[in-house]
Amino acid sequence: MKSAVLVFPGSNREGDMVRALTQAGSKVEKVWHADHELPKGTDLVVLPGGFSYGDYLRCGAIAGRAHIMDAVRAHAARGGLVLGVCNGFQILCESGLLPGILMRNANLKFICHRQFLRVERNDTVFAKRYAKGQAIDVCVAHGEGNYTADTETLKRLEGESLVAFRYCDADGQVTPDANRNGSMNSIAGIYSEKLNVMGMMPHPENLIEDLVGGTDGRGLFESLVSSFAKAA
């Protein structure tokens, strides 16, 4: 599998993302935001975390309109895979690739802690290495992760089972206490209609080594890479 990790001015998690993808067995190339094309043969585009353009205007707003995003939109329209994490999720929402928006956390605080997520479905290329309903132990670090969408969009996301992950406790229970940023329906991550684009606020790429306290994040990258091993 070949992954392209996009780098915008202010991205700062691209190194961790490259490491997680490489560990899972993907070839990885970094792509600068001003480029107009993705590397030939790109299977997966990843938008990493950070503070693109200093979060000016709205988080992800300016990056969402960068030249390279036209290529990402075309890649997604062809059925290509796209993953956005943290600021990457914000960029996907701002670019129109995913619905809704990430607003300021309800408690107005930057939150940075370990966080359990409930895997809402495991029949996707992003989550097949997890069990449905499994509580995975990753972490969050964001000030604007409060997922918000209009009633129609929320109804569609739930009706079509497009919620990827929800904030939960260690037992997999989706409780108000576990939803520290105030996201609607405790949404931590969502899929596009065709399940080929996924955005999430938490960082699976942070938890891929026992040395730093956990490896639950590996499943996501291994899911992606194993999907391609089978297809090839």
Partner 1 sequence: MKARVTVTLKNGVLDPQGKAIEGALKSLGVEGIASVRQGKVFDIELGTVDKGHAEASLKAACEKLLANTVIENYRVEIA
Question: Residue 86 is encoded by which pair of tokens?
Answer: 């943290």
Question: Residue 74 is encoded by which pair of tokens?
Answer: 């075309």
Among positions 128-157, residues that touch partner 1 (CB under 8 A) are 146, 148-150
| Of the candidate residues 18, 62, 97, 163, the single one contacting partner 1 (CB under 8 A) | 62
201 contacts partner 1 (rule: CB under 8 A)? no
57 contacts partner 1 (rule: CB under 8 A)? yes
CB of 228 to partner 1, least distance (A): 33
Which DSSP string corresponds to 106-159? TT-S-EEEEEEEEE---SSTTTTTSPTT-EEEEEEEES--EEE--HHHHHHHHH
Pick from 194, 180, 189: nearest CA to 77? 194
Q: Catalytic: 205?
A: yes
| Of the candidate residues 36, 40, 78, 108, the single one contacting partner 1 (CB under 8 A) | 108
CB of 209 to partner 1, least distance (A): 35
Count of residues interacting with partner 1 (CB under 8 A): 20
Question: Residue 92 is encoded by which pair of tokens?
Answer: 């996907």
| Of the candidate residues 11, 87, 105, 124, the single one contacting partner 1 (CB under 8 A) | 105
E-state strands within 48-110: 81-85, 101-103
Separation CA 23–CA 212 (nearest Å): 15
Binding range to partner 1, per CB under 8 A, among 4-12, 16-24, 105-113, 131-139: 105-113
Q: Catalytic: 94?
A: no
Separation CA 145–CA 72 (nearest Å): 22
Q: Catalytic: 75?
A: no
Pick the catalytic residue from 59, 86, 93, 139: 86
Closer to partner 1 by Cβ: residue 23 or 148: 148
188 contacts partner 1 (rule: CB under 8 A)? no
Contact criterion met (CB below 8 Å) for 76 and 34:
no
Separation CA 175–CA 182 (nearest Å): 11
Interface contacts to partner 1, rule CB under 8 A: 57-58, 61-62, 65, 94, 99-101, 103-108, 146, 148-150, 182
Which residues are catalytically annotated?
A: 86, 203, 205
